Amino acid sequence: MKVYNTLSKSKEEFVPVEEGKVKMYVCGPTVYNYIHIGNARPMIVFDTVRRYFEYKGYDVNYVSNFTDVDDKIIKKAIEEGTTADVISKRYIEECKKDMAGMNVKPATKHPLATEEIGGMIEMIQKLINDGYAYEKNGTVYFRTRQFKDYGKLSHKNLDDLQSGGRSLLVTGEDEKEDPLDFVLWKPKKEGEPAWVSPWCDGRPGWHIECSVMSKKYLGEQIDIHAGGEDLVFPHHENEIAQSEAANGKEFSKYWMHNAFLNIDNHKMSKSLGNFRTVREISEQYDLQVLRFFMLSAHYRSPLNFSADLMEASKNGLDRIVTAVANLKHLLGATTVETLKEEEKALLEKTNEFVAGFEAAMDDDFNTADAVSSVFELVKHANTTANGESSKEYLQGLLDVILKLTDVLGLIVEKEEELLAEDIEKLIEERQAARKAKNFQRADEIRNELLEKGIILEDTREGVKWKKA
């Protein structure tokens, strides 16, 4: 299996730190609003990477944090006259709803920055003790030049950064030993959340959070650290400096970064008014369509979001969903049980599509080509399965399609909707049960309908129902 490593700027054979195991850290969102589709891309991409490792038999420990203390969260809290804690908790829950809609599996652990402050203070103290950090008036800075390999991920030279002007530098120049040093701990401002530390009451810098959470839940050396390409510098570069200075060993073997997402060929920004949240998308499309759209391009290729491309993705996903529904329909209708002689070669041919799928995924998780293999499999199913097919053949086709789409995290089995006449029959049965004082059965029917998205209302005119 080949993985493109940002560190070496090349594809490398994947060799885990520990055989059979993958330790993977993915930078999660800062929770001050609904997640936008830019946040959704790494969530979907690296969830798919995780799923493929699991498909290949690896035991994956997948950690993805929530940044729940940050200037943007504090600003939102002040605007709403509430606390940063209330804001972050609210949007963590909303984020989890959107992730479920996109069929992103929960991480093995979703650490919160505010719950790991003790570990951050410990790591900062170690960096001070070892000469990698220093304190000035309550602020602690990392000595960038003290870490000899600084710039190895972003392939930036320190002297070039120095001459790159103030845009690359961090605030508080006057107190720093070097303009390129970055903040590990900062004093609190009025009305901000703060924690007690040896230097002052304050809060951690952004970069130290991920270094500490990764170390706590995955160990000092991990296999894969991932996120959007906007995090390469300075966030991931600074993480490497802190972690390797504190732990004395290589932090992550492989660094994976997904490319940007544009909207109608423009960079997404609030000022352009093209800022789209996942929640807004869900009002127009099933979020499975958004997932399918994200996987239709290679994760390292820039992706352009547009109405036309979403419609094309909807049609593409519908092709797979329809094929699955057709196979299930044929399975329910056929009377032939065992595989017929002429079906054996047809079923064996599915191995070619599986091999194509795996070859694409083994080549730096090329989901675009993997989807093409699924389409070839669907075409094979559509042209060879019919009313004469055996159950064994139909089930074989169905199993392969479901196995591969599950790796991509695509839900292609749609629950059959209840017909109006079926609902009315169940309502009649419930009324009869109530007359007979069989309230247990009446409640069972109400709950059964509720599970299928049907709400009953008992009115004077009788029982009415509506879709949830």
**What CATH number corresponds to the domain at position 395?**
1.20.120.640
Write down the pTM of the prediction: 0.88
Whether residue 403 is found in the same domain as residue 426: no
Structural tokens at position 360: 């694409």
Structural domain for 450, as ranges: 420-467
Does the residue 165 lie in any domain? no
What's the confidence (pLDDT) of residue 393? 98
Whether residue 212 is found in the same domain as residue 343: no
Whether residue 386 is found in the same domain as residue 363: yes
Does the residue 172 lie in any domain? no
The one-letter amino acid code at 4 reads Y
Each residue's pLDDT tens digit, 293-332: 999 999 999 999 999 999 999 999 999 999 999 999 999 9
Asked if residue 273 has pLDDT above 90, the reply is no
- Of 258, 282, 299, which marks where a domain is finished? 258
| C-alpha–C-alpha distance, residues 262 and 302, integer Å | 7
Does the residue 447 lie in any domain? yes
Phi-psi region of 251 (alpha: psi -120 to 50; beta: other; left: phi over 0): alpha
Does the residue 112 lie in any domain? yes
**What CATH number corresponds to the domain at position 79?**
3.40.50.620
Q: Among residues 176, 167, 168, which one has the least CA distance to residue 139?
A: 176
Asked whether the beta carbons of 63 and 106 are under 8 A apart, the reply is no
Asked whether the beta carbons of 189 and 203 are under 8 A apart, the reply is no
Whether residue 424 is found in the same domain as residue 403: no
Whether residue 36 is found in the same domain as residue 86: yes
End-to-end Cα, the chain, rounded Å: 45
Each residue's pLDDT tens digit, 169-191: 445 456 899 999 999 999 999 98
Whether residue 28 is found in the same domain as residue 90: yes
Q: Among residues 453, 447, 446, 415, which one has the least CA distance to residue 431?
A: 446
Does the residue 175 lie in any domain? no
Does the residue 439 lie in any domain? yes
Asked if residue 109 has pLDDT above 90, the reply is yes
Does the residue 17 lie in any domain? yes
Whether residue 239 is found in the same domain as residue 311: no
Whether residue 330 is found in the same domain as residue 455: no
| C-alpha–C-alpha distance, residues 445 and 162, integer Å | 70
Domain count, the chain: 3
Does the residue 263 lie in any domain? no
Whether residue 401 is found in the same domain as residue 425: no
Whether residue 452 is found in the same domain as residue 327: no
Each residue's pLDDT tens digit, 379-421: 999 999 999 999 999 999 999 999 999 999 999 998 766 677 8
- Of 258, 274, 295, which marks where a domain is finished? 258
Whether residue 246 is found in the same domain as residue 393: no
Whether residue 92 is found in the same domain as residue 214: yes
Q: Among residues 206, 258, 252, which one has the least CA distance to residue 229?
A: 258
Sheet of strand 303-305, all strands in order from the earlier edge strand to the far edge:
266-267, 261-263, 303-305
| DSSP-derived pairing of the beta strands 21-26 and 59-64 | parallel
What's the confidence (pLDDT) of residue 209? 97
Asked if residue 168 has pLDDT above 50, the reply is no
Q: Name the least confident of 45-54, 158-167, 243-252.
A: 158-167
For the segment 339-361, the average pLDDT, to the nearest whole number, is: 97
